[in-house]
Amino acid sequence: MIGGGKGAFIGAVHRIAANMDGLIELSCAALSSRPEVARESGKALFLPEDRIYLSYEEMLEKESRLPADKRIDFVAIVTPNFVHFAPALMALDKGFHVVIDKPMTFTLDEAKQLQKKVEETGLLFCLTHTYSGYPMVKQAKQMIREGALGKIRKVWVEYPQGWLSGLTEKEGNAQAAWRTDPSKSGKSSCMGDIGTHAAHLAEYMTGLKITSLCADLNIMVEGRLLDDDGNVLLRFDNGATGVLMASQVAAGEENALRIRIYGEKGGLEWAQQEPNTLLVKWLDQPAQIYRTGAGYLGNYARHNTRTPGGHPEGYLEAFGNIYRNFALSLSARIEGRQPTEEMLDFPTVEEGVRGMAFIDNVVKSGAGNEKWTPFTV
């Protein structure tokens, strides 16, 4: 693991997710750019002293020299996104598979370079778009892919939060500080942080691609340097239209990600704060409620469910599903087996490039006067 030491938020989430199914062992780490924090964090995780590294460069170099049965199989990069590209590129150069937090890089150019390197090396690359790991998201995706709703016509996706309703970055909140700092977050805060989740979910569930967009970005809190609110009109490659809203100044909201998708025959609705329920609405029959753990669900939802119906599975389990599918795919490769389609169902470098392109195009549209901006990658 690179990053995720003492005081970090997402590193612990990654470790819980990776450890959930007993398929992955944390063998070494460079947990902080601060040597003392790196040492303390490694000891707290019971890592052997000779595999607690003080920099990712040292870790990747030394691990690459170890015998094949001793060195790590893959690297998890859980740093803020301005420290994603260099360690990911070096890991791939050293022959290690990669799991990385989103957004994938700091710029679209970096994302394209990583994509090229992944293609050159043939190594596995996983992007942790958490919400695609929920069983009912996978159920919805499978139903849409199999034509249950007919041709998709409309997508509404929203991600309101309220945690940045004040100038939190000036009050000692480290998570807010780097996310609202252009030198660390990049050209967007709200759309880069949570708008990318909404856009990915829309493309992942429908199987469609955004082809053009019209964005309105806003800074609602005086003194903030990057957007904390925005609205985007979307057009997809099958002719469907969509609306995407992301806001971090929706006071009182937590992580209220919600998506509604409508086709010719019906629609469906899923909400992250009630993730075990999928509401399916039909044009000519009563609405249905699908629930995680039920026997009538498709193979993708069943593959990503651990407990019987009525036992809620949430954010950590969804995160765990991404690591589990990656680990199963990697194990199959190591053992010379072909991974199943269910195993290979995790976000890859392609989604990472599209996420960075989404940020670029939204910012470009928000700053321009044209109604529609072509979605270029």
Say yes or no to pLDDT of 374 above 90.
no
CATH of the domain at 87: 3.40.50.720
- Does any domain span residue 329? no
Contact 36, 340 (CB under 8 A): no
- Does any domain span residue 372? no
Domain count, the chain: 2
Q: What percent of the chain has pLDDT over 90?
A: 96
- Of 78, 94, 123, the residue at which a domain comes to its end is 123
Residues 149 and 293 in one domain: yes
Alpha carbon dihedral 301, 343, 101, 117, in 10-degree steps, equals: -150
Cα distances (angstroms) measured from residue 139 to each of 31, 75, 226, 285, 287: 36, 29, 36, 20, 16
pLDDT class for 370, splitting at 50, 70, 90? confident
Residues 225 and 282 in one domain: yes
- Does any domain span residue 63? yes
- Does any domain span residue 319? no
**Which has the closest alpha carbon to 92: 57, 119, 118?**
118
The CA-based angle 153-149-130, given to 5 degrees, is 85
- Does any domain span residue 312? no
Helical H runs in the chain? 10-19, 35-44, 56-65, 85-93, 108-121, 135-145, 174-179, 182-185, 190, 196-206, 299-303, 315-334, 349-367
Residues 108 and 174 in one domain: no
pLDDT of residue 140: 98
pLDDT class for 369, splitting at 50, 70, 90? confident
- Does any domain span residue 376? no
Element spanning 127, H or E: strand 125-127
Contact 287, 271 (CB under 8 A): no
Residue 104 structural domain: 10-123
pLDDT of residue 113: 98
Residues 301 and 210 in one domain: yes
Residues 62 and 155 in one domain: no
pLDDT class for 94, splitting at 50, 70, 90? very high
Residues 164 and 290 in one domain: yes
pLDDT class for 371, splitting at 50, 70, 90? confident
Residues 359 and 280 in one domain: yes
Contact 301, 142 (CB under 8 A): yes
**Which has the closest alpha carbon to 193: 233, 235, 229?**
229
Contact 178, 184 (CB under 8 A): yes
**What is the bridge-based pairing of β-strands 97-100 and 74-77?**
parallel
Which tens digits make up the pLDDT trace of 198-251? 999 999 999 999 999 999 999 999 999 999 999 999 999 999 999 999 999 999
Residues 110 and 200 in one domain: no
Say yes or no to pLDDT of 7 above 90.
no
Say yes or no to pLDDT of 350 above 90.
yes
Which tens digits make up the pLDDT trace of 167-201? 999 998 989 999 999 999 999 999 999 999 999 99
Residues 45 and 140 in one domain: no
- Of 67, 101, 123, the residue at which a domain comes to its end is 123
Residues 6+ apart with CB under 8 A from 71: 63, 64, 65
Residues 302 and 195 in one domain: yes
Residues 138 and 247 in one domain: yes
pLDDT of residue 313: 93
CA-CA distance, 128 to 124, in Å (whole number)?
A: 13
- Does any domain span residue 290? yes
pLDDT of residue 49: 96
CA-CA distance, 351 to 357, in Å (whole number)?
A: 10
Amino acid letter, 41 = S
- DSSP, collapsed to helix, strand or coil, labels residue 182 as helix
Q: What percent of the chain has pLDDT over 70?
A: 100
pLDDT of residue 37: 96
Residues 89 and 223 in one domain: no
Which tens digits make up the pLDDT trace of 251-304? 999 999 999 999 999 999 999 999 999 999 999 999 999 999 999 999 999 999
CATH of the domain at 184: 3.30.360.10
CA-CA distance, 67 to 227, in Å (whole number)?
A: 48
CA-CA distance, 358 to 116, in Å (whole number)?
A: 19
- Does any domain span residue 325? no
Q: For the chain, give percent helix, strand, coil, nearest 5.
A: 40, 20, 40
- Of 69, 94, 123, the residue at which a domain comes to its end is 123
Contact 319, 128 (CB under 8 A): yes
The C-alpha R_g of the chain, in whole angstroms, comes to 21
